[in-house]
Every structure is written in C-alpha cells, then in structure tokens.
Amino acid sequence: MSRRYSKKHLWSSLVVLGLSLFLYVAQQQGWIGNAGTAVESNQPGLYSINHFIDGDTIAVNMNGATETVRFIGIDTPETHKPNTPVQCYGPAAAAHTKNAIAAQGSKVRLVSDSLSTDRDRYNRLLRYVYLPDGTNLNELNVQQGYAFYYPYFPFSKSKQFEADEKAAMATKKGLWSACTPTPSDDGGYKMDEPASQQT
C-alpha cells in the first residue's frame, strides 16, 4: 500500500510541477493575459515590432512575414501620407506610439473586432493594439489627445472612444490644445495645420 501511495504521490507531484512550470512560461511569454480582462484572455500571442510607421500604423513580424497593422477606431495626424505635409501633432503622436510600445519590450497583442472589416483598402490588418500589460493603445492614444476617434469603419468600442475623445477635447489634452482640428465628411477630423505651426 505504501509503495502504491508513493507512486501516486510522485505522479501527482510531477503533474502539479509540470502544470506550474507551463503556467509560468505561458505567463512570461504573454500567452495568458491578466486575470479579469475578458478581451485579453482571447488574445493571440505577442508579435514583435518590425518597424513603426506613424501614430496609428505599425508593422509586425507575423508567421514569418511582415504585416502592416492599422489601429481600429482612431486616426492620428499625418507624418508620411503622400502629397500631404507633416501635420500638427503628427510627430508627437508617432513618438508616443513608438515610446509606449518600446517601453514594454517592442511587442504587442493584436485583437480583431467582429464589427470591423479584417483589412482596409490598403490591405492593412485592422486591429486593437494591446501592450503586454493589457493597455489598449488605440484607446490610450485617444484619451491622451494623440489621436482622433475615427468612426469610418464600425467597431464595438465606438461609444467608448467617442467619450474618450470628448473628455480629451474638454480638458484640452494633446492635439486639442496644440492644433486646430476641423470636422471631416467621414465623421472624424482633419488637420490642415502643418507641424511647423505646432506650439
């Protein structure tokens, strides 16, 4: 009896040890999000940044290829658009996105939205970009005045992003104090003011 008990005890201990090791590695690798966040629990693994494009667009390494990712639901002032001058707060928005991602190891989680299309007309993936700590960078950019709420494509967080924009506008955060955005026909804003006029 004692020998049989010892073998069962040994196997139980090994299973618990193996499971604990797996959970530790999974958490370190970002396979498991923070508890209490439903979106995070459904996220795929972390993707490393290939290069930064601007405040609302990045390129990631995905399955051996480089994929361009456009942030769902936001628009930042232009820095690289053909035939368009660098716009007011564009460099600041691009730097904010780059710094926020770099501060957490230059890796991100990408989450699609069932209400949005998978890709835009430029074949860029449309995604929410989450930092490893669970921060939704799309929303953070709107909250801190680096981006506009952009309802061009429907998306499930639309009302929250719109509220975030109103709060940033009311408190004159970021571009709302430095620039003069004007409403555009697509429901967002446009920035005719060049970066050289930025205060």
Whole-number Cα distances in Å, 119 to 10, 127, 142: 51, 9, 21
Of the candidates 40, 67, 78, 139, the residue annotated as catalytic is: 78
Q: How confident is the model at residue 199 (pLDDT cuts 50, 70, 90)?
A: very low
By CB atoms closer than 10 A (0-12, 13-18, 19+), residue 95 is middle
Q: How, if at all, do strands 148-149 and 125-130 pair?
A: unpaired
Average pLDDT, the chain: 83
Confidence of residue 18 (pLDDT cuts 50, 70, 90): low
- Tokens 């460099």 belong to 91
Q: What is the radius of gyration, based on Cα positions, of the chain?
A: 21
Continuous H helices in the chain: 2-28, 38-41, 90-102, 137-143, 158-170, 175-178
Q: Is 4 a catalytic residue?
A: no
- Return the pLDDT at 85: 87
User: Could you tell me which residue, 31 or 82, shows the higher pLDDT?
Assistant: 82
Percent of the chain exceeding pLDDT 90 equals 62
Report residue 166 as tokens.
């109103």
Residue 114 has pLDDT above 70, yes or no: yes
Which is more confident, 187 or 93? 93
User: Nearest Cα to 150, choosing from 124, 187, 125, 113?
Assistant: 187
Question: Rounded to whole angstroms, how far apart are CA atoms 192 and 78?
Answer: 10
Conformational region of residue 166, where left means phi above 0, alpha means psi within -120 to 50, and beta covers everything else:
alpha
Mean pLDDT score, 36-65: 79
Give yes or no for a contact between 129 and 157, defined as CB atoms under 8 angstroms apart: no
Please indicate whether residue 124 is annotated as part of the active site.
Answer: yes
What number is the average pLDDT over the span 111-117? 94
The confidence score (pLDDT) of residue 34 equals: 39
pLDDT tops 80 at residue 41 = no
Residue 15 to residue 100: CA distance in whole angstroms? 39
Of 70, 109, 127, 165, catalytic: 70
Summarised one tens digit per residue, pLDDT across range 53-97 is 999 999 999 999 999 999 999 999 999 888 888 999 999 999 999
Mean pLDDT of 136-152: 96
Most confident of 13-17, 44-48, 192-196: 44-48
Question: Taking Cα atoms as reference points, which of 107, 113, 135 lies closest to residue 28?
Answer: 107
